[in-house]
Amino acid sequence: MGYAPGNQMSARRGRWRLALPLGLAGVALALGAITDRLEARIESPFPVAASAAYHPLLAAMRPVSARTAVLDGIPLEMAFQPGQTVSDVLSGFDLEPPQLQRVIDELAKHADLRRIRPQDSYAVDYDPDSGLRSFVLTVDGKGKAAVRREDGTWQGSWREFSRLAVVERVSGRLEDSLEQAIRAAGGEAALTYLMADVLQWDLDFTRDLRTGDTFDILYERVFFDGAYHSLGGIVALSYDNRGRRLEAYRHGTGAERGYYDAEGRPLRKMFLRSPMRYSRVTSRFSGRRFHPVLKRYSPHYGVDYGAPTGTPVRVTANGVVLAAGWKGGGGRTVQVRHPNGYVTAYLHLSKFASGIRSGRRVQQGEVIGYVGSSGLATGPHLDYRVQRDGRWIDPLSLASMPADPVAREDMPAFLAERDRLRRSLWEQAPYEPAPPPVAAEITLAAAVPSSTEAG
């Protein structure tokens, strides 16, 4: 028996009544997702470009290459592979055990063979008929330990590298990302991370950078025996951020060296602006936020930073670890007690850093864990929270307490150096270093400012 036309029409209307709310709900969810992505993009560390995934080489802040030279198909210099030892390499050259041990003993007089790294390299002089004639170990950033066979015996020697730091200038304007702006201006991408370290107390690289910001940087490029090796430190920089000018000048020597603003006030403060160098704010401190997992409104006492799993999380101030373990919906959590009644918490970690446990003292900027999605989380992120005297406060409004300024007796020298650096930063004048102290760590060479700039 078939349905009557009236029954069929009623059935269609019923289906429409059911489908319409479901369709509207779907549209609302889609719009919500788009809005969340747009908000995350707006709050990203770069105005347009998203954050790059973390890689361990970024922490080294120096270029690493294989450094393999080839002549007639024969490798003359090779980089050590991860986990490879000097003994592993030498065992491939048909040395008798006593000879092998003799070569290792000679090298060990000049270098710590237990600390070979992929940045180190080796070169060999090997003849298929007469065997190994020499082995040269290049210890990255230090020198060369060589062992040569002479009259049937092995003789070792050490030559330390001559080290030179040349100061160069780079200037640019943000159009897409800070890293791309630095590259366009002729600088190395790793300068981005050096800048983040210098300005980490005053500029939140997860939310403060904007299109149109400009920068001027004086920085060192380090050479060993005349060959470029790596970036050194930042000597001075100026960053204009939405009408606010931030200046940083390196001052002091040894353990007392630090960065100061134009008036001699230290940039270092009690709290870092962000627990990660690069990430994006995906959710703010709020008394009423819709929980993405529980699907209900509740207070959100922290700031969520979206970042790839494994991104290092830094403690924002000196303190003592209160707890490091699983904490309900927060998953793997580290809590740290700081002076003046402050406590910070780092939630949803994938794992804890080595040695992080209750009672451990930690220093500002030390890695205490890695981003994850443990606990009640829809994806990898860090929930960063701050308490003072037991009351939750917004981490983004956290006030910072500065360290001691430049000493009164040192202020004239500091101001004179600041003025010299300003001329190099803003007027493109050649860098004019102050007379170095007697026990200078490196020799600074003046360099002509880079002619390549981003407009």
Element (H, E) at 69: strand 69-71
The predicted-structure confidence for 291-347, as pLDDT tens digits, reads as follows 555 555 557 778 888 888 998 999 998 899 999 999 988 899 999 998 878 899 999
Q: What local confidence, expressed as pLDDT, does residue 138 receive?
A: 86
Q: Does 136 score more than 60 pLDDT? A: yes
Give the contacts of 183 (CB within 8 A, at least 6 positions apart): 189
- The residue ranking higher by pLDDT, 102 or 397, is 102
- At residue 389, φ and ψ (nearest 5 deg) are 55, 40
CATH superfamily of 280-397: Glucose Permease (Domain IIA) (2.70.70.10)
Q: Encoding tokens for residue 216? A: 């001027």
- The residue ranking higher by pLDDT, 25 or 165, is 165
- The residue ranking higher by pLDDT, 12 or 50, is 12
List the beta bridge partners of residue 259: 250
Q: What local confidence, expressed as pLDDT, does residue 143 receive?
A: 87
Q: Does 443 score more than 50 pLDDT? A: no
* Residue among 145, 159, 156 at smallest CA distance from 102: 156
What CATH topology corresponds to 166-268+407-445? Nuclear Transport Factor 2; Chain: A, (3.10.450)
Q: What is the DSSP string of 243-296?
A: TEEEEEEEE-SGGG-EEE-TTS-BS-BSS-S-SSSS-EEEE--EEEEE-TTT-S
CA distance 216 to 157: 44
Average pLDDT score, the chain: 76
Q: What local confidence, expressed as pLDDT, does residue 365 receive?
A: 85
The predicted-structure confidence for 194-242, as pLDDT tens digits, reads as follows 888 898 888 877 678 889 999 999 999 888 888 887 788 899 999 999 8
* Residue among 169, 173, 60, 69 at smallest CA distance from 118: 60
- The residue ranking higher by pLDDT, 263 or 132, is 263
pTM (global) more than 0.85: no
The mean pLDDT value for 4-14 works out to 57
- The residue ranking higher by pLDDT, 405 or 240, is 240
The predicted-structure confidence for 51-69, as pLDDT tens digits, reads as follows 344 433 333 333 333 333 3
- At residue 181, φ and ψ (nearest 5 deg) are -65, -40
Q: Encoding tokens for residue 303? A: 């700031």
What CATH topology corresponds to 73-160? Nuclear Transport Factor 2; Chain: A, (3.10.450)
Burial of residue 291, with CB atoms counted within 10 A of its CB: 0-12 exposed, 13-18 middle, 19 or more buried: middle
* Residue among 215, 244, 186, 376 at smallest CA distance from 298: 376
Q: What local confidence, expressed as pLDDT, does residue 16 receive?
A: 58
Q: What local confidence, expressed as pLDDT, does residue 356 receive?
A: 95
Q: Does 71 score more than 50 pLDDT? A: no
- Sign of the Cα pseudo-torsion (293, 299, 305, 311, in order): negative
Best mean pLDDT range from 148-152, 260-264, 283-287: 260-264
Q: What local confidence, expressed as pLDDT, does residue 74 receive?
A: 43
Q: What local confidence, expressed as pLDDT, does residue 377 receive?
A: 82
Q: What local confidence, expressed as pLDDT, does residue 15 receive?
A: 60
pLDDT-based confidence at residue 25 (cuts at 50, 70, 90): low
Q: Does 79 score more than 80 pLDDT? A: no
Best mean pLDDT range from 32-36, 140-144, 266-270, 347-351: 347-351
